[in-house]
Amino acid sequence: MSWEVVIGLEIHTQLATQSKIFSGASTAYGAEPNTQACLVDLGYPGVLPVLNEDVVRMAAMFGLAVNASVAPRSVFARKNYFYPDLPKGYQISQYELPIVEHGELFITAADGNEKRIGITRAHLEEDAGKSTHEGLGSFSGIDLNRAGTPLLEIVSEPDLRSAKEAVAYMRKIHSIVRYLGISDGNMQEGSFRCDANVSMRPRGQQEFGTRTELKNLNSFRFVEKAINFEIERQIDVIEDGGEVVQETRLYDANKDETRPMRSKEEANDYRYFPDPDLLPVEIDAAYVEALRETLPELPDAKRHRFIDDYGIRADDADILTASRALGDFYEEVVAATAGEPQGVANFVVGDFMGALNKAGLGIEESPVSAAALAGLLDRIKDQTISGKIAKEVFEAMWSGEGSADEIIAAKGLKQITDSSAIEAIVDKVIEANPGQVAEYKAGKEKLIGYFVGQVMKETGGKANPGQVNQVLKQKLS
Amino acid sequence: MAAELHQRTLSELAAGLEAGDFSSVELTEALLARVADHDGELNAFITVTAEQALAAARAADEARAAGNAGVLGGLPLVHKDIFCTRDVLTTCGSRMLENFVSPYNATVVDRLAGAGAVILGKTNMDEFAMGSSNETSYYGPVRNPWHLEYSPGGSSGGSAAAVAARLAPAATGTDTGGSIRQPAALTGTVGLKPTYGRVSRYGMIAFASSLDQAGVITRSSADAALLLGVMAGFDERDSTSIDHPVPDYTAALSESLDGLRIGVVKQHFDDGLDAATGAAVREALAVLEANGAKLVDVDLPNIDLSVPTYYVVAPAECSSNLSRFDGVRFGHRADNPEDLFDLYCRSRGEGFGAEVKRRIMTGTYALSAGYYDAYYLKAQQVRHLIADDFKSAFEKVDLIAGPTSPTPAFRLGDKVDDPITMYLNDIYTVGANLAGLPGVSTPCGFVDGLPVGLHLVGPHWGEEVLIRCAHNYEQLTDWHRACPEDFS
């Protein structure tokens, strides 16, 4: 039988506020345990939550970015359960009335077409603290620095039909929240996490199968691997005559498998009710409209503009618009150089991003500025250097040896375009390789590459490759 | 000869301090001495903060000498032990917080201290404010100064008893279903519960967040007006406090009863009301009418549903509010827990008393899947109906008057095993909490030597009309001046 997977994602994205959602404590990552938890975060007797206005703005911006409705009235509820990292014994979370509903975004499906993915809702909630078990013997440690960190939980419709689509959707959300500047999207630090609901059904069937919820998916790679594992597992269960059990399963990246969490953790009745300490959040239309004016250009719009205005390839446009900073960098280079936009895209996507990745740097930390890079690309354009020499110059720029022009001058890398000079070297090479010349003339034309290589070797790579080719062909004919 | 210091009201003491007749240190010492002499029999205090009080009194005297006396400069008060007080034990009447020294001050505590008040100590109360007799306190029941075998009411029983027995001229209290007004009625004191949102709840240990409101117990409405002016006002740390202007409440004291329309609710004089108590309240209404007020019959058709509604909403909220007491970060922790579950179960099992457990269980049930709609949601709907009834009534009248409590004080032990009878103590007061309205109880007579309270409820932000009416009544009668014989 042919099976179809149905996937919905719940993405928790940490909002990039200075302080927590209901207290003034800092949200900075990596502090000593329990140094960024105030009395409100600790759930002390008598303290009360006060909503951080910034989270409302950020959630509303997200709503606008995914073409959703921003609710004029949303309500915080209490989700009641006991756990040591949950100081109040309840988590404050929007339940029946979330701030964002009925959104959508588009991903590129396997067939290359755009596919619409519905966003059911996005709601605000506070994060819990963290339990640690290392180095404490039979005890557990509780770090409440994270308690009260603002989260936006983004829930998709069950519109995703493969692990690849799930990843594409997650990447798109990741890109949007970073464009909006509402989250740093840092997955190592847990600022962007995902749970996946996965079920199988015979292809063509309308109703959904029984789903499992996969937790602990904190990288794009794990999302893909966990879902694919789960697809195989569920098919095996069904084809062996069994039934998929509705349960929460943890993904274990080390073993690349999912396994059920203890059922006790599933049996909670959370006893949701509206939090009487907080008033409903009321947002008027004027606020939403004013906010709409502040929205930056979003990834899809930018991607289309890059393709239309710069004429670059779609796959390059995808990469260059994945982050706002990279797109801005690309545009800065294009504006500053006489080089062709596609050529700029090639260099930025290739050498430049390669260098960043290798050094583990963000674009803001790049030692080569957009203006400096434009200076280098100008020299390719005016044929001062070849593309190959440009790589060498770029490496030197990366190491801080100066501007492209300074490095070209200092290292004598200026391309040889004087045809008499090139002819002299070509003559020398032909003279030194009589055997190869004979073979070439006998029809082994691919030896042309060998001769080009020899000329380049003689000139330290500085000869204009086009000219070399032309002269060689002329002289060997 | 002037009255002894402890017999004077807050306003009289303020005048005396201002005139230099005595210092705050002298006053504080005199009252601390009374506490030492009398609290053994009353058990009104959980903590006496003598040292801090004397330091604050000295500071207040110095400020006054320097010409910087605050509105309450040097005036002694006591706080219900539900208000967090920095570096002072804050127990909420519970074993759960037997060891809890608060690291911060409630907004109410800060505001009163900021105006120069001197805090003598923290008063006894029903555990987590759940009770109407002060018998649920882990620290033992408070005794009624009018008869030591009787309850002073609750949950602010310690505050009421301390003021009635002249151990302090005024006290803070909290009122979730009548916890200021009922003990005030039962001890012959004045108890004012403001409009929900008028006074910050920050630092006031929550029982039922949508109903809790801080207020005062005093010996006169004038004193209540003085204190309310300091306590009231928006607090950015409490999202449910409302940014509404704070008037000069003492200005209301100079207005007469002329033209005041007073609603009388027939449901407030039904079979559940003790006949002698009813007679005293009717007599009070007659006094108001004879002096310029107009009595108007009003109907609150859903008011009979207020006690059952309250006993769904309040426990539901408390079941969640009290989850933070888990033995992990503060408060009582069971010895040698076997595991996390055992830590939770025993810490809470040992830390909470029977009434608190009863309400946590009732509330948990009301919020549970499958019951939420039938209980919690239904109760919230009825709550709206009750609020609407009051709203309609206040289109016809300026305030509503009736009995505060169906009976005078009852004997300690009489109702403690019968929660339903105990809950009916709140029958005339809970409506105001459900609707968020202000209410005041002022003394209006005695039945068998025990005080009776006249209950006034006003519209939202109607504190001034309540103070005006109660103050006029107090000027026309002398019930509020009566002092229990053993505490004169």
Distance CA(B143)–CA(B145), nearest Å, equals 6
Q: Do A44 and B330 touch (CB under 8 A)?
A: yes
What does the pLDDT read at residue A263?
57
Helices (H), A146-241: 163-180, 220-239
Considering Cα of B401, then B406, then B409, then B415, what sign does the dihedral take? negative
pLDDT in tens, chain B (488 residues): 467 999 999 999 999 999 999 999 999 999 999 999 999 999 999 999 999 999 999 999 999 999 999 999 999 999 999 999 999 999 999 999 999 999 999 999 999 999 999 999 999 999 999 999 999 999 999 999 999 999 999 999 999 999 999 999 999 999 999 999 999 999 999 999 999 999 999 999 999 999 999 999 999 999 999 999 999 999 999 999 999 999 999 999 999 999 999 999 998 998 889 999 999 999 999 999 999 999 999 999 999 999 999 999 999 999 999 999 999 999 999 999 999 999 999 999 999 999 999 999 999 999 999 899 999 999 999 999 999 999 999 999 999 999 999 999 999 999 888 888 888 889 999 999 999 999 999 999 999 999 999 999 999 999 999 999 999 999 999 999 999 999 99
What does the pLDDT read at residue B1?
44
Residue A108 has which token pair? 């590129």
**H/E segment holding residue B350:** helix B340-351
Contact between B193 and B156 (Cβ < 8 Å) = no
Q: Distance, in angstroms, between A44 CA and closest chain B CA?
A: 8
Chain A residue with CA closest to B235: the answer is: A50
Kindly give, in sequence order, each residue whose CB lies less than 8 Å from that of residue B338, ignoring residues fewer than 6 positions away: none
Residue of B205, B323, B328 lying closest to A84 (CB–CB): B328
Across the A:B interface, residue pairs with CB atoms under 8 Å apart total: 98
What does the pLDDT read at residue A156?
98
Chain B residue with CA closest to A22: the answer is: B237
Task: Enumerate the residues of chain B whose CB falls inside 8 A of the CB of residue A47.
Answer: 202-203
Residue of A49, A50, A88 lying closest to B323 (CB–CB): A88
Contact between A91 and A153 (Cβ < 8 Å) = no
pLDDT in tens, chain A (477 residues): 799 999 999 999 999 999 999 999 999 988 999 999 999 999 999 999 999 999 999 999 999 999 999 999 999 999 999 999 999 999 999 999 999 999 999 998 888 888 999 999 999 999 999 988 888 887 889 999 999 999 999 999 999 999 999 999 999 999 999 999 999 999 988 899 999 999 999 999 999 999 999 987 889 999 999 999 999 999 999 999 999 999 899 998 888 888 888 654 456 799 999 999 999 999 999 999 999 999 999 999 999 999 999 999 988 998 999 889 999 999 999 999 988 999 999 999 999 999 999 999 989 899 999 999 999 999 988 888 888 889 989 999 999 999 998 998 888 778 777 778 888 888 888 888 888 888 888 888 888 888 888 888 888 888 888 888 888 888 887
Q: Do B209 and A276 touch (CB under 8 A)?
A: yes
Distance CA(A277)–CA(A273), nearest Å, equals 11
What does the pLDDT read at residue A457?
86
Q: Distance, in angstroms, between A210 CA and closest chain B CA?
A: 22
Helices (H), B180-238: 181-187, 221-231
Q: List the single best residue of B174, B321, B380 to mutate versus A (max A Cβ within 10 A).
A: B321
B352 phi and psi angles, rounded to 5 deg: -100, 145
What does the pLDDT read at residue B2?
61
Q: How many other C-beta atoms lie within 10 A of the C-beta of residue B153?
A: 35
CA distances from B31 to A329, B10, B57 (A): 75, 13, 12
Distance CA(B257)–CA(B456), nearest Å, equals 14
Q: Do B329 and A43 touch (CB under 8 A)?
A: yes
Among B356, B434, B315, B280, smallest CA distance to B127 is for B356
**pTM score:** 0.90
Contact between A345 and A313 (Cβ < 8 Å) = yes
Does residue B328 sit at the A interface (CB-CB below 8 Å)?
Answer: yes
Domains of chain B as residue ranges with CATH:
2-258+439-487 (3.90.1300.10)
Task: Enumerate the residues of chain B whose CB falls inside 8 A of the CB of residue A84.
Answer: 326, 328, 340
Q: Distance, in angstroms, between B429 CA and closest chain A CA?
A: 21
Chain A contact residues (CB < 8 Å to B): 39, 42-51, 78, 80, 82, 84, 87-90, 142, 269, 271-273, 276-279
Residues comprising chain A, all counted: 477
Q: Distance, in angstroms, between A245 CA and closest chain B CA?
A: 22
Q: Which residues of B belong to the active site? A: 80, 155, 179
Q: Do A278 and B97 touch (CB under 8 A)?
A: no
Q: Which residue has the tokens 């009825």?
A: B382
* Residue A135, Cβ density class (10 Å: 0-12 exposed, 13-18 middle, ≥19 buried): exposed
Does residue B210 sit at the A interface (CB-CB below 8 Å)?
Answer: yes
Task: Enumerate the residues of chain B whose CB falls inside 8 A of the CB of residue A273.
Answer: 316, 320, 367, 372, 376
Q: What is the DSSP letter of B194?
A: -
Task: Enumerate the residues of chain B whose CB falls inside 8 A of the CB of residue A271.
Answer: 319-320, 364, 367-369, 372
What does the pLDDT read at residue B431?
98
Q: Distance, in angstroms, between A188 CA and closest chain B CA?
A: 29
Chain A residue with CA closest to B314: the answer is: A276
Chain B residue with CA closest to A83: the answer is: B340
Q: What is the DSSP letter of B411?
A: B
Chain A residue with CA closest to B344: the answer is: A82
Chain A residue with CA closest to B104: the answer is: A39
Q: Do A39 and B206 touch (CB under 8 A)?
A: no
Considering Cα of A53, then A55, then A59, then A61, what sign does the dihedral take? positive
Residue of A46, A82, A269 lying closest to B326 (CB–CB): A82
Distance CA(B55)–CA(B38), nearest Å, equals 23
Q: Which of residues 357-416 of B touch A (CB under 8 A)?
A: 364, 367-369, 372, 376
Three-state DSSP class for residue A124: strand
Q: Do A45 and B90 touch (CB under 8 A)?
A: yes
Q: Do B209 and A269 touch (CB under 8 A)?
A: no
Does residue B91 sit at the A interface (CB-CB below 8 Å)?
Answer: no
Distance CA(B235)–CA(B200), nearest Å, equals 6
Q: Distance, in angstroms, between A90 CA and closest chain B CA?
A: 7
Contact between B49 and B59 (Cβ < 8 Å) = no
Count of H-run helices and E-run strands, chain A: 16, 16
